[in-house]
Amino acid sequence: MKIWHRYSGIVLPILVIAVLTIWPAITGKASNRESSFTILKAVALASSLNILLGYTGYVSFGHIVFYGFGGYVGLFLLTDQGWSLWTAILAGGLASAVLAFLLGTAILRLRGAYFALATIGINEAMKAFVNNFDLFGGPTGITLNFSVYKPYGGAAQALQTSFYIAAGLALLAILLSHIVRTSKFGLGLLAIRENEDAAEVMGVVAPNAKTWAYVFSAIVPGMIGVLFFFKNGNVEPHDAFPLHASIELLVMVMLGGQGTVLGPILGAFAYQGMRGYLVTSDFFKDIQLSVSGALLLMIVLFIPAGAIGWLRQRIPTLRRVLA
């Protein structure tokens, strides 16, 4: 019974990932696989952001910087250094983690709106830097040679492999999220979210805890970045550091329910589904981002706890399952 209590919150999230992974294989359609890939990527990114936003209570408007930076480091290692995809993904995650550690030490002393503003600045600064950094190809970025896909059974097979890696990374992100949520470290983060001064008085070493939360929230985005741009074939500053993608991630986390393991997964799923409909509709295709903005406004005004948070408040018995 105790064990069930401890792990009950992770059952649903793993089921969702499993279904997303198996669904394209059953239907056998490449287009389904690509939709599924997009959702898995969003799940991985949103669950990672949730560690900082949902557990620690720090709003980052520039979380995509870790995705872009990891992607650049990975592709640089793939092309110039001839590393394999596996080691490049690990290196991308590590590079983003180191970046988060350095940034966290510098800007996590800021609170509230000041921190949020600083994160936007970091994203834009990184974009400008990469634009002028010759080793990363400057404004034209890095393009993969087609022969890169050879060791993975050609381009078509590489797409299939990338899909399974994306599923693995999404799983890694939610496991990380769950482990943090149920650990003593996570309890400290929640205390910081609720009242940082009170947490410090109770002995939570807030500067360290916040920095590590930032690091944990950066690892998987760095890895996903490498995978996505490997699959994409090239990386450019504009694609690597899109500010609107950061805001979309915020919408996903807030929509599903910040501070829960399942919330960001549900939010990513719902948001990508909605986005898929909007960009193909004649009326909405050009104002798709305005709809996201309006959605964010509605969530903040009416269900600040998100869908899962709302359910948890209404039906307390669901709290164990909807962790």
Interface contacts to another protein, rule CB under 8 A: 183-184, 187-188, 190-191, 193-195, 197-206, 259
Closest distance to another protein from the beta carbon of 39 (Å) = 28
- DSSP assigned state of 319: G
Closest distance to another protein from the beta carbon of 250 (Å) = 19
Nearer to another protein, 63 or 312 (CB): 312
Nearer to another protein, 40 or 254 (CB): 254
Closest distance to another protein from the beta carbon of 322 (Å) = 15
Residue type, 252: M
Closest distance to another protein from the beta carbon of 203 (Å) = 3
Question: Tokens at residue 243, please?
Answer: 């500010």
Closest distance to another protein from the beta carbon of 304 (Å) = 11
Question: Tokens at residue 238, please?
Answer: 């504009």
- The answer to whether residues 216 and 51 touch, using CB atoms and an 8 Å cutoff, is yes
Nearer to another protein, 117 or 190 (CB): 190
Name, in order, each residue with C-beta under 8 angstroms of 145's C-beta and a sequence gap of 6 or more. 79
CA distance 135 to 129: 11
Nearer to another protein, 184 or 314 (CB): 184
Nearer to another protein, 82 or 316 (CB): 316
**Residues facing 143 on adjacent strands:** 234
229 membership: H or E segment, kind and range: helix 206-232
CA angle (320, 175, 22) in 5-degree steps: 95
